[in-house]
Structure 1
Amino acid sequence: MKTVRIFNGIHKIEDKDMSLVPLQVREILQQSRKNLIDRLLVNTGIEDYIYHRFQTKANAQKVLQVKNKLIELQHAGIMLERYRSVFQQILEHENSHIDSALFYVEIDTCIQLCLNEMSLEFDPLETYRIDHINTIQNMRQRLIQLILTEAGIKNFVKGEYYQELEDQAKINYLNTELRDYFFSKRTDYAQMLKYIMVNKIDLVDGCKQLFKNEVAEILDQHFDRSRV
Protein backbone atom coordinates (compact mmCIF):
# COMPACT_ATOMS: atom_id res chain seq x y z
CA MET A 1 0.00 0.00 0.00
CA LYS A 2 1.39 3.39 -1.01
CA THR A 3 0.59 6.66 0.78
CA VAL A 4 0.38 10.02 -0.96
CA ARG A 5 0.15 13.24 1.06
CA ILE A 6 -1.35 16.22 -0.71
CA PHE A 7 -3.06 19.47 0.27
CA ASN A 8 -6.53 17.86 0.27
CA GLY A 9 -5.60 14.93 2.49
CA ILE A 10 -3.84 11.59 2.60
CA HIS A 11 -4.56 9.15 -0.20
CA LYS A 12 -3.96 5.40 -0.20
CA ILE A 13 -2.93 3.60 -3.38
CA GLU A 14 -3.34 -0.13 -3.69
CA ASP A 15 -0.14 -1.52 -5.23
CA LYS A 16 -0.74 -5.27 -5.31
CA ASP A 17 -1.18 -4.88 -9.05
CA MET A 18 1.39 -2.27 -10.13
CA SER A 19 -0.29 -1.90 -13.53
CA LEU A 20 -3.22 -0.23 -11.76
CA VAL A 21 -1.12 2.29 -9.85
CA PRO A 22 -0.88 4.88 -12.68
CA LEU A 23 -4.67 4.87 -13.02
CA GLN A 24 -5.09 5.55 -9.31
CA VAL A 25 -2.47 8.32 -9.46
CA ARG A 26 -4.30 9.97 -12.38
CA GLU A 27 -7.54 9.96 -10.40
CA ILE A 28 -5.84 11.56 -7.38
CA LEU A 29 -4.15 14.22 -9.50
CA GLN A 30 -7.31 15.04 -11.43
CA GLN A 31 -9.40 15.36 -8.26
CA SER A 32 -6.74 17.49 -6.55
CA ARG A 33 -6.49 19.84 -9.53
CA LYS A 34 -10.29 20.08 -9.61
CA ASN A 35 -10.38 21.01 -5.90
CA LEU A 36 -7.88 23.83 -6.43
CA ILE A 37 -9.84 25.20 -9.38
CA ASP A 38 -13.07 24.98 -7.36
CA ARG A 39 -11.51 27.41 -4.89
CA LEU A 40 -10.85 29.90 -7.67
CA LEU A 41 -14.39 29.65 -9.00
CA VAL A 42 -15.96 30.84 -5.75
CA ASN A 43 -17.25 34.44 -5.72
CA THR A 44 -14.48 36.79 -6.97
CA GLY A 45 -11.74 34.17 -6.70
CA ILE A 46 -10.73 34.37 -10.35
CA GLU A 47 -10.60 38.17 -10.45
CA ASP A 48 -8.57 38.30 -7.23
CA TYR A 49 -6.17 35.57 -8.34
CA ILE A 50 -5.55 37.19 -11.73
CA TYR A 51 -4.95 40.57 -10.08
CA HIS A 52 -2.46 39.29 -7.49
CA ARG A 53 -0.77 36.59 -9.58
CA PHE A 54 -0.50 38.41 -12.91
CA GLN A 55 -0.71 42.06 -11.77
CA THR A 56 -3.57 42.79 -14.14
CA LYS A 57 -7.26 43.59 -13.81
CA ALA A 58 -9.42 41.48 -16.11
CA ASN A 59 -12.75 42.75 -17.43
CA ALA A 60 -15.96 40.73 -17.02
CA GLN A 61 -15.68 39.17 -20.48
CA LYS A 62 -12.13 38.00 -19.88
CA VAL A 63 -13.00 36.66 -16.42
CA LEU A 64 -15.80 34.61 -17.94
CA GLN A 65 -13.43 33.32 -20.62
CA VAL A 66 -10.86 32.31 -17.99
CA LYS A 67 -13.60 30.66 -15.93
CA ASN A 68 -14.74 28.57 -18.89
CA LYS A 69 -11.18 27.49 -19.65
CA LEU A 70 -10.59 26.47 -16.04
CA ILE A 71 -13.79 24.44 -16.03
CA GLU A 72 -12.55 22.69 -19.18
CA LEU A 73 -9.23 22.02 -17.43
CA GLN A 74 -11.09 20.52 -14.47
CA HIS A 75 -12.55 17.85 -16.70
CA ALA A 76 -9.48 17.34 -18.88
CA GLY A 77 -7.22 14.35 -18.53
CA ILE A 78 -3.85 14.41 -16.81
CA MET A 79 -0.92 14.89 -19.19
CA LEU A 80 1.70 12.28 -18.36
CA GLU A 81 4.58 14.49 -19.53
CA ARG A 82 3.56 17.34 -17.23
CA TYR A 83 3.27 15.09 -14.17
CA ARG A 84 5.89 12.48 -15.04
CA SER A 85 7.98 13.32 -11.96
CA VAL A 86 4.97 12.67 -9.71
CA PHE A 87 4.24 9.30 -11.29
CA GLN A 88 7.91 8.34 -10.95
CA GLN A 89 8.08 9.44 -7.32
CA ILE A 90 4.99 7.46 -6.34
CA LEU A 91 6.11 4.36 -8.22
CA GLU A 92 9.50 4.39 -6.52
CA HIS A 93 8.49 5.24 -2.93
CA GLU A 94 6.00 3.93 -0.40
CA ASN A 95 5.34 7.42 0.97
CA SER A 96 5.16 10.52 -1.25
CA HIS A 97 4.25 14.18 -0.95
CA ILE A 98 2.87 16.23 -3.83
CA ASP A 99 3.34 19.99 -3.66
CA SER A 100 0.25 21.92 -4.79
CA ALA A 101 2.60 24.28 -6.67
CA LEU A 102 2.78 21.63 -9.37
CA PHE A 103 -0.92 22.08 -10.11
CA TYR A 104 -0.66 25.85 -10.10
CA VAL A 105 1.93 25.69 -12.88
CA GLU A 106 -0.71 24.11 -15.12
CA ILE A 107 -3.47 26.42 -13.86
CA ASP A 108 -1.30 29.51 -14.38
CA THR A 109 -0.41 28.37 -17.88
CA CYS A 110 -4.09 28.02 -18.72
CA ILE A 111 -4.90 31.48 -17.33
CA GLN A 112 -1.89 33.19 -18.91
CA LEU A 113 -2.68 31.84 -22.35
CA CYS A 114 -6.27 32.95 -21.95
CA LEU A 115 -5.24 36.46 -20.87
CA ASN A 116 -3.01 36.75 -23.93
CA GLU A 117 -5.82 35.94 -26.34
CA MET A 118 -7.16 38.94 -28.20
CA SER A 119 -10.87 39.75 -27.96
CA LEU A 120 -12.57 38.55 -31.10
CA GLU A 121 -14.46 41.11 -33.15
CA PHE A 122 -16.23 39.70 -36.20
CA ASP A 123 -17.61 41.31 -39.30
CA PRO A 124 -21.33 40.36 -39.34
CA LEU A 125 -20.95 39.45 -43.03
CA GLU A 126 -18.30 36.85 -42.22
CA THR A 127 -19.31 33.23 -41.72
CA TYR A 128 -17.12 32.54 -38.70
CA ARG A 129 -18.61 30.13 -36.18
CA ILE A 130 -17.87 30.25 -32.46
CA ASP A 131 -17.40 26.48 -32.28
CA HIS A 132 -14.63 26.78 -34.90
CA ILE A 133 -12.89 29.38 -32.74
CA ASN A 134 -13.23 27.13 -29.69
CA THR A 135 -11.71 24.23 -31.62
CA ILE A 136 -8.70 26.33 -32.60
CA GLN A 137 -8.25 27.75 -29.09
CA ASN A 138 -8.38 24.34 -27.44
CA MET A 139 -6.05 22.76 -29.99
CA ARG A 140 -3.51 25.59 -29.71
CA GLN A 141 -3.47 25.40 -25.92
CA ARG A 142 -2.90 21.65 -26.02
CA LEU A 143 -0.07 22.12 -28.52
CA ILE A 144 1.56 24.78 -26.34
CA GLN A 145 1.33 22.60 -23.24
CA LEU A 146 2.92 19.72 -25.15
CA ILE A 147 5.80 21.68 -26.70
CA LEU A 148 6.69 23.06 -23.26
CA THR A 149 7.52 19.56 -22.02
CA GLU A 150 10.93 17.93 -22.46
CA ALA A 151 9.45 15.16 -24.61
CA GLY A 152 7.56 17.70 -26.70
CA ILE A 153 10.69 19.68 -27.58
CA LYS A 154 12.76 16.55 -28.25
CA ASN A 155 10.10 15.05 -30.52
CA PHE A 156 9.70 18.31 -32.44
CA VAL A 157 13.46 18.61 -33.00
CA LYS A 158 13.69 14.97 -34.09
CA GLY A 159 10.76 15.28 -36.49
CA GLU A 160 11.64 18.68 -37.93
CA TYR A 161 15.47 18.62 -37.94
CA TYR A 162 16.18 14.87 -37.73
CA GLN A 163 18.41 15.43 -34.72
CA GLU A 164 18.46 13.79 -31.30
CA LEU A 165 18.36 16.46 -28.61
CA GLU A 166 19.98 15.15 -25.41
CA ASP A 167 21.69 18.30 -24.08
CA GLN A 168 19.64 19.04 -20.92
CA ALA A 169 20.94 22.60 -20.67
CA LYS A 170 19.84 23.31 -24.26
CA ILE A 171 16.46 21.69 -23.63
CA ASN A 172 15.92 23.94 -20.61
CA TYR A 173 17.02 27.01 -22.58
CA LEU A 174 14.67 26.24 -25.47
CA ASN A 175 11.82 25.57 -23.06
CA THR A 176 12.33 28.98 -21.46
CA GLU A 177 12.55 30.71 -24.83
CA LEU A 178 9.35 29.06 -26.09
CA ARG A 179 7.53 29.72 -22.82
CA ASP A 180 8.46 33.41 -22.92
CA TYR A 181 7.26 33.62 -26.51
CA PHE A 182 3.88 31.98 -26.01
CA PHE A 183 3.21 33.74 -22.71
CA SER A 184 3.88 37.17 -24.18
CA LYS A 185 2.31 36.70 -27.63
CA ARG A 186 -1.27 37.82 -28.16
CA THR A 187 -3.08 35.38 -30.41
CA ASP A 188 -5.45 36.63 -33.10
CA TYR A 189 -7.75 33.64 -33.53
CA ALA A 190 -9.95 35.43 -36.04
CA GLN A 191 -6.94 35.87 -38.32
CA MET A 192 -5.95 32.24 -37.85
CA LEU A 193 -9.43 31.07 -38.75
CA LYS A 194 -9.54 33.33 -41.79
CA TYR A 195 -6.23 31.87 -43.04
CA ILE A 196 -7.52 28.32 -42.56
CA MET A 197 -10.78 29.03 -44.35
CA VAL A 198 -9.19 30.92 -47.25
CA ASN A 199 -6.77 28.05 -47.82
CA LYS A 200 -9.52 25.45 -47.33
CA ILE A 201 -7.59 23.55 -44.67
CA ASP A 202 -9.07 21.29 -42.03
CA LEU A 203 -9.41 23.22 -38.75
CA VAL A 204 -7.21 20.92 -36.69
CA ASP A 205 -4.63 20.40 -39.44
CA GLY A 206 -4.51 24.14 -40.10
CA CYS A 207 -3.97 24.95 -36.44
CA LYS A 208 -1.19 22.36 -36.20
CA GLN A 209 0.51 23.73 -39.32
CA LEU A 210 0.40 27.34 -38.10
CA PHE A 211 1.71 26.27 -34.70
CA LYS A 212 4.50 24.23 -36.30
CA ASN A 213 5.53 27.26 -38.35
CA GLU A 214 5.69 29.42 -35.20
CA VAL A 215 7.84 26.96 -33.29
CA ALA A 216 10.10 26.31 -36.29
CA GLU A 217 10.70 30.04 -36.73
CA ILE A 218 12.12 30.12 -33.21
CA LEU A 219 14.05 26.85 -33.30
CA ASP A 220 15.52 27.54 -36.75
CA GLN A 221 17.85 29.91 -34.92
CA HIS A 222 19.30 26.96 -32.99
CA PHE A 223 19.34 24.11 -35.52
CA ASP A 224 20.89 23.74 -38.97
CA ARG A 225 18.29 22.84 -41.60
CA SER A 226 20.99 22.16 -44.16
CA ARG A 227 21.58 18.89 -42.35
CA VAL A 228 17.99 17.81 -42.95
Structure 2
Amino acid sequence: KNQIPSGLNFSLCGIPFWNTDLGGFFYWEFEQNPKNPAIQELQTRWMQWGTFMPLMRNHCSSPMVSELYEFGKQGDWAYDAMIKAIKLRYRLLPYIYSTAGDCVQNSGSMMRALVMDYAADKKASRLNDEYLFGRNILVKPVTDPLYTWKDKEKKGHTIYPDVRKAAAPVNVYLPKGNKWYDFWSNTQYEGGQDIQRLCPIDIMPVFIKAGTILPFGPEVQYSSEKPWDELEIRV
Protein backbone atom coordinates (compact mmCIF):
# COMPACT_ATOMS: atom_id res chain seq x y z
CA LYS A 1 0.00 0.00 0.00
CA ASN A 2 2.84 2.41 0.84
CA GLN A 3 4.54 1.73 -2.48
CA ILE A 4 1.77 3.35 -4.55
CA PRO A 5 2.32 6.94 -3.33
CA SER A 6 6.07 6.32 -3.46
CA GLY A 7 5.82 5.53 -7.16
CA LEU A 8 3.59 8.51 -7.81
CA ASN A 9 6.00 10.81 -5.97
CA PHE A 10 8.86 9.59 -8.15
CA SER A 11 6.75 10.26 -11.21
CA LEU A 12 5.91 13.77 -10.04
CA CYS A 13 9.65 14.38 -9.64
CA GLY A 14 10.19 13.66 -13.33
CA ILE A 15 11.35 10.04 -12.95
CA PRO A 16 8.88 8.02 -15.04
CA PHE A 17 10.58 4.61 -15.12
CA TRP A 18 10.06 3.28 -11.60
CA ASN A 19 9.11 -0.07 -10.16
CA THR A 20 8.74 -1.98 -6.92
CA ASP A 21 9.88 -5.50 -6.05
CA LEU A 22 6.77 -7.55 -6.79
CA GLY A 23 5.96 -9.63 -3.73
CA GLY A 24 8.30 -7.64 -1.54
CA PHE A 25 10.16 -8.99 1.46
CA PHE A 26 7.40 -10.19 3.76
CA TYR A 27 7.80 -13.94 3.51
CA TRP A 28 9.11 -14.33 7.04
CA GLU A 29 5.70 -13.18 8.25
CA PHE A 30 4.10 -16.16 6.52
CA GLU A 31 6.36 -19.00 7.70
CA GLN A 32 8.49 -18.61 4.54
CA ASN A 33 6.08 -20.94 2.80
CA PRO A 34 4.95 -20.10 -0.77
CA LYS A 35 1.98 -22.45 -0.31
CA ASN A 36 0.61 -20.29 2.53
CA PRO A 37 -2.64 -18.82 1.13
CA ALA A 38 -1.90 -15.42 2.70
CA ILE A 39 1.42 -15.00 0.88
CA GLN A 40 -0.16 -16.37 -2.29
CA GLU A 41 -2.79 -13.64 -2.12
CA LEU A 42 -0.16 -10.96 -1.46
CA GLN A 43 1.98 -12.16 -4.37
CA THR A 44 -1.05 -12.33 -6.68
CA ARG A 45 -2.24 -8.80 -5.91
CA TRP A 46 1.26 -7.38 -6.22
CA MET A 47 1.71 -9.14 -9.56
CA GLN A 48 -1.57 -7.67 -10.82
CA TRP A 49 -0.39 -4.21 -9.85
CA GLY A 50 2.92 -4.88 -11.60
CA THR A 51 1.04 -5.30 -14.87
CA PHE A 52 0.45 -1.55 -14.74
CA MET A 53 3.88 -0.39 -13.59
CA PRO A 54 6.58 1.12 -15.80
CA LEU A 55 8.75 -1.93 -15.09
CA MET A 56 7.33 -5.32 -14.08
CA ARG A 57 9.90 -7.13 -11.95
CA ASN A 58 9.29 -10.06 -9.63
CA HIS A 59 11.87 -10.08 -6.83
CA CYS A 60 12.53 -11.37 -3.33
CA SER A 61 15.53 -12.73 -1.43
CA SER A 62 16.76 -16.10 -0.25
CA PRO A 63 15.54 -18.38 1.26
CA MET A 64 12.21 -17.52 -0.36
CA VAL A 65 11.51 -17.82 -4.05
CA SER A 66 9.48 -15.81 -6.53
CA GLU A 67 9.10 -18.21 -9.45
CA LEU A 68 5.45 -18.77 -10.27
CA TYR A 69 5.67 -22.55 -10.14
CA GLU A 70 6.60 -22.29 -6.46
CA PHE A 71 3.12 -20.88 -5.76
CA GLY A 72 1.22 -23.70 -7.43
CA LYS A 73 0.45 -25.19 -10.80
CA GLN A 74 -2.07 -24.71 -13.58
CA GLY A 75 -5.53 -24.97 -12.05
CA ASP A 76 -4.46 -23.49 -8.70
CA TRP A 77 -6.03 -20.10 -8.00
CA ALA A 78 -2.84 -18.15 -7.27
CA TYR A 79 -0.92 -19.56 -10.22
CA ASP A 80 -3.77 -18.99 -12.66
CA ALA A 81 -4.36 -15.41 -11.49
CA MET A 82 -0.68 -14.51 -11.80
CA ILE A 83 -0.41 -16.06 -15.26
CA LYS A 84 -3.44 -14.01 -16.30
CA ALA A 85 -1.70 -10.82 -15.15
CA ILE A 86 1.54 -11.65 -16.97
CA LYS A 87 -0.27 -12.47 -20.21
CA LEU A 88 -2.10 -9.15 -20.04
CA ARG A 89 1.19 -7.32 -19.51
CA TYR A 90 2.61 -8.78 -22.70
CA ARG A 91 -0.53 -8.01 -24.67
CA LEU A 92 -0.36 -4.39 -23.47
CA LEU A 93 3.19 -3.89 -24.78
CA PRO A 94 2.07 -1.72 -27.74
CA TYR A 95 0.34 0.65 -25.31
CA ILE A 96 3.28 0.56 -22.90
CA TYR A 97 5.73 1.23 -25.75
CA SER A 98 3.68 4.21 -26.89
CA THR A 99 3.45 5.51 -23.33
CA ALA A 100 7.23 5.22 -22.95
CA GLY A 101 7.58 7.20 -26.16
CA ASP A 102 5.30 9.87 -24.71
CA CYS A 103 7.63 10.10 -21.71
CA VAL A 104 10.66 10.67 -23.93
CA GLN A 105 9.13 12.92 -26.56
CA ASN A 106 6.53 14.89 -24.60
CA SER A 107 7.77 14.77 -20.99
CA GLY A 108 4.91 12.44 -20.13
CA SER A 109 4.86 9.86 -17.38
CA MET A 110 4.02 6.18 -16.99
CA MET A 111 2.32 6.43 -13.57
CA ARG A 112 0.31 9.63 -13.53
CA ALA A 113 -0.95 10.89 -10.18
CA LEU A 114 -4.55 11.98 -10.74
CA VAL A 115 -3.69 15.57 -9.88
CA MET A 116 -1.68 15.71 -13.13
CA ASP A 117 -4.81 15.33 -15.26
CA TYR A 118 -7.64 16.22 -12.87
CA ALA A 119 -6.33 19.14 -10.80
CA ALA A 120 -9.79 20.75 -10.80
CA ASP A 121 -11.32 17.61 -9.28
CA LYS A 122 -10.56 18.12 -5.59
CA LYS A 123 -11.29 14.54 -4.64
CA ALA A 124 -9.18 13.07 -7.43
CA SER A 125 -6.28 15.41 -6.68
CA ARG A 126 -6.07 14.12 -3.09
CA LEU A 127 -6.00 10.41 -3.93
CA ASN A 128 -2.72 8.54 -3.62
CA ASP A 129 -3.91 4.96 -4.04
CA GLU A 130 -5.07 5.06 -7.67
CA TYR A 131 -3.56 6.59 -10.77
CA LEU A 132 -3.49 6.69 -14.55
CA PHE A 133 -1.18 4.25 -16.30
CA GLY A 134 -0.27 6.36 -19.29
CA ARG A 135 -2.98 8.83 -20.16
CA ASN A 136 -5.90 6.44 -20.55
CA ILE A 137 -5.92 3.54 -18.07
CA LEU A 138 -7.17 4.14 -14.51
CA VAL A 139 -5.70 1.66 -12.03
CA LYS A 140 -6.72 0.93 -8.43
CA PRO A 141 -4.43 -1.73 -6.93
CA VAL A 142 -5.99 -4.07 -4.38
CA THR A 143 -3.99 -3.50 -1.19
CA ASP A 144 -6.12 -5.04 1.55
CA PRO A 145 -6.40 -8.78 2.11
CA LEU A 146 -9.86 -9.73 1.00
CA TYR A 147 -9.86 -13.48 1.44
CA THR A 148 -7.10 -14.47 3.84
CA TRP A 149 -5.96 -13.43 7.28
CA LYS A 150 -3.05 -11.05 7.69
CA ASP A 151 -1.76 -12.16 11.06
CA LYS A 152 -0.87 -15.43 12.70
CA GLU A 153 -3.96 -15.31 14.90
CA LYS A 154 -6.10 -15.48 11.74
CA LYS A 155 -8.32 -12.67 13.00
CA GLY A 156 -10.45 -10.33 10.97
CA HIS A 157 -10.34 -12.13 7.66
CA THR A 158 -11.94 -15.25 6.26
CA ILE A 159 -10.20 -17.80 4.11
CA TYR A 160 -12.45 -19.60 1.66
CA PRO A 161 -11.97 -23.23 0.58
CA ASP A 162 -12.04 -22.02 -3.04
CA VAL A 163 -10.92 -18.41 -3.30
CA ARG A 164 -12.13 -18.18 -6.90
CA LYS A 165 -15.74 -18.35 -5.69
CA ALA A 166 -15.28 -15.30 -3.47
CA ALA A 167 -15.39 -11.60 -4.34
CA ALA A 168 -15.14 -8.51 -2.19
CA PRO A 169 -15.90 -4.87 -3.04
CA VAL A 170 -13.11 -2.38 -3.70
CA ASN A 171 -13.97 1.32 -3.69
CA VAL A 172 -12.84 3.17 -6.83
CA TYR A 173 -13.23 6.87 -7.53
CA LEU A 174 -13.76 7.77 -11.20
CA PRO A 175 -12.52 11.32 -11.92
CA LYS A 176 -14.84 14.01 -13.24
CA GLY A 177 -14.84 15.09 -16.84
CA ASN A 178 -14.78 11.68 -18.49
CA LYS A 179 -16.86 8.58 -18.90
CA TRP A 180 -15.10 5.38 -17.88
CA TYR A 181 -15.36 1.78 -19.04
CA ASP A 182 -14.68 -1.18 -16.79
CA PHE A 183 -11.85 -3.02 -18.56
CA TRP A 184 -13.20 -6.45 -17.63
CA SER A 185 -16.95 -6.00 -18.18
CA ASN A 186 -17.07 -3.00 -20.56
CA THR A 187 -19.68 -1.39 -18.29
CA GLN A 188 -19.80 2.39 -18.73
CA TYR A 189 -19.77 4.78 -15.76
CA GLU A 190 -20.01 8.54 -15.45
CA GLY A 191 -17.03 10.28 -13.88
CA GLY A 192 -17.20 12.10 -10.56
CA GLN A 193 -18.43 9.18 -8.48
CA ASP A 194 -17.30 6.35 -6.25
CA ILE A 195 -18.21 2.84 -7.28
CA GLN A 196 -17.82 -0.50 -5.57
CA ARG A 197 -16.07 -2.96 -7.86
CA LEU A 198 -16.43 -6.62 -6.85
CA CYS A 199 -13.00 -8.19 -7.20
CA PRO A 200 -12.44 -11.93 -7.26
CA ILE A 201 -8.82 -12.99 -6.90
CA ASP A 202 -8.05 -12.69 -10.63
CA ILE A 203 -9.51 -9.17 -11.05
CA MET A 204 -8.05 -5.79 -10.09
CA PRO A 205 -10.05 -2.60 -10.76
CA VAL A 206 -9.02 -1.20 -14.16
CA PHE A 207 -10.99 1.42 -16.08
CA ILE A 208 -10.46 2.85 -19.56
CA LYS A 209 -11.10 6.51 -20.35
CA ALA A 210 -13.89 6.93 -22.93
CA GLY A 211 -12.50 7.72 -26.38
CA THR A 212 -9.35 5.65 -25.88
CA ILE A 213 -7.93 3.60 -28.74
CA LEU A 214 -6.27 0.69 -26.94
CA PRO A 215 -3.90 -1.58 -28.92
CA PHE A 216 -3.24 -5.19 -27.93
CA GLY A 217 -0.46 -7.39 -29.21
CA PRO A 218 -0.46 -11.19 -29.57
CA GLU A 219 -0.25 -13.53 -26.60
CA VAL A 220 3.47 -14.26 -26.16
CA GLN A 221 5.90 -15.61 -23.58
CA TYR A 222 8.62 -13.11 -24.50
CA SER A 223 8.50 -9.91 -26.52
CA SER A 224 10.16 -11.19 -29.72
CA GLU A 225 8.36 -14.54 -29.87
CA LYS A 226 5.91 -13.42 -32.59
CA PRO A 227 5.64 -10.57 -35.10
CA TRP A 228 3.80 -7.50 -33.87
CA ASP A 229 2.44 -6.48 -37.26
CA GLU A 230 -1.13 -7.51 -36.42
CA LEU A 231 -2.74 -5.78 -33.45
CA GLU A 232 -6.16 -6.01 -31.85
CA ILE A 233 -7.65 -2.54 -31.50
CA ARG A 234 -10.31 -1.76 -28.90
CA VAL A 235 -12.09 1.58 -29.09
TM-score interval, normalised by the smaller of the two chains: under 0.3
Pair member with larger Rg: 1
Higher-helix-fraction structure: 1
Higher-strand-fraction structure: 2
How high is the TM-score relative to the length of structure 2? 0.25
